[in-house]
Amino acid sequence: MKIAAAKVIVCSPGRNFVTLKIETDQGVYGIGDGTLNGRELSVVSYLEDHVIPCLIGMDPRRIEDIWQYLYRGAYWRRGPVTMRAIAAVDMALWDIKAKMAGMPLYDLLGGKSRDRVLVYGHANGSDVDETVEAVGQYIDMGYKAIRAQTGVPGIKDAYGVGRGKLYYEPADAALPTVTGWDTRKALNYVPKMFEKLRETYGFDYHLLHDGHHRYTPQEAANLGKMLEPYQLFWLEDCTPAENQEAFRLVRQHTVTPLAVGEIFNTIWDAKDLIQNQLIDYIRATVVGAGGLTHLRRIADLASLYQVRTGCHGATDLSPVTMGCALHFDTWVPNFGIQEYMRHTEETDAVFPHDYRFEDGHLICGETPGHGVDIDEDLAARYPYKRAYLPVARLEDGTMWNW
């Protein structure tokens, strides 16, 4: 068996997606996701100009060797563009191999560790009362775990507060929009939201919150301490992770569980955080961390230190990544939770899939492969639209972390 052809499909059924389709000389094909929100065309260029020419004629069954070829064989390696291109190839190859074996992907990975995957949704509002109402709507939909974000009085367009109640797409303009931030106002307001949520819904539901890299380590520690009475499932991205030692200060001052990793690209980004037990959940993604081949290594390292997985699953990842993630989640022994932001009807139509939502969980299907396909004719009706993520500035105009 040889790789006979490969092509990149870019479409925008509500948002931009980069899909790689690899075809073999025996008629079996697989698809992978290489989407990088706001930088899609960089991945497309890397795939088309540097990766695909090397794939033609390779044996698609040699997944590990091809991964090493694309990673070690490139002198300029790592980084979000390179690793997402590798991930797209890796997902497609696992899809092909599982189809050849006649197995759902989780069986090829080693079989089920669980029957269903706990997921969390995104509830947000312009203020505390709107967010409390939105959390109730997710509970009515069957969710057992909900991420809660609120607008903060005096802050322009606070992070995580979308334009709709169900779908949140932060990449909102052809050039970056400018949002605001004020840490003191957020620290004074966010704990009030969780106090109201627990008063309203009790402690039977898991609640999560995303700091989105906005806080210094000391400020993050302060927030984690204030949130302890409300027993969060986790506090995510409480401080930028470039300096992994920063999490030591946070850990020393709060027992609120910590999660990080959606922007990580390799095991090296997570190594110190994991082995020093400075986090409780690792959020690296199938597409961001170089595919299933590499994400398995990260999860195996995490399992040695009782760190569990909590893969990123926002709508900037296509249903292809979600399908792969669910098979990974079904297999991985140290699973924690899976983020699940629902895609639009247009996206679901372009990417038909066999996973389903049921009673607060996602269940992957039994179709051989990862269970997600692409309707190329329909995809062609949704051409690429340039869309940037916003930027954030403090009240005095200083650039801040978005």
Residue 208's beta-bridge partner residues? 147, 234
Backbone angles phi, psi at 320, to 5 degrees: -65, -45
The proportion of the chain whose per-residue pLDDT surpasses 90, expressed as a percent, equals 91
Q: Strand, helix or coil at 146? A: strand
Known catalytic residue at 213: no
Known catalytic residue at 212: yes
- Out of 122, 206, 209, 212, which one is annotated catalytic? 212
- 239-260 pLDDT, tens digit each: 999 999 999 999 999 999 999 9
- 60-98 pLDDT, tens digit each: 999 999 999 999 999 888 999 999 999 999 999 999 999
- 94-110 pLDDT, tens digit each: 999 999 999 999 999 99
**Predicted local confidence at residue 162, as pLDDT:** 66
**Predicted local confidence at residue 163, as pLDDT:** 60
Cα 7 from Cα 372, distance rounded (Å):
17
Q: What pTM was estimated for this model as a whole?
A: 0.95
Backbone Cα Rg of the chain: 20
Cα 22 from Cα 152, distance rounded (Å):
46
pLDDT band at residue 402 using 50, 70 and 90 as cut-offs: confident
- 207-250 pLDDT, tens digit each: 999 999 999 999 999 999 999 999 999 999 999 999 999 999 99
Residue 164, pLDDT above cutoff 70: no
Residue 182, pLDDT above cutoff 90: yes
Cα 226 from Cα 100, distance rounded (Å):
52
- Out of 71, 120, 159, 189, which one is annotated catalytic? 159
Which one, of 280, 374, 281, 362, lies nearest residue 327 by Cα? 362
Token output for 146: 């909900």
Which one, of 169, 198, 221, lies nearest residue 389 by Cα? 169
CB-based contacts of 295, cutoff 8 Å, min separation 6: 284, 285, 286, 289, 311, 328
Angle between helices 183-201 and 128-140 (to 10 degrees): 40
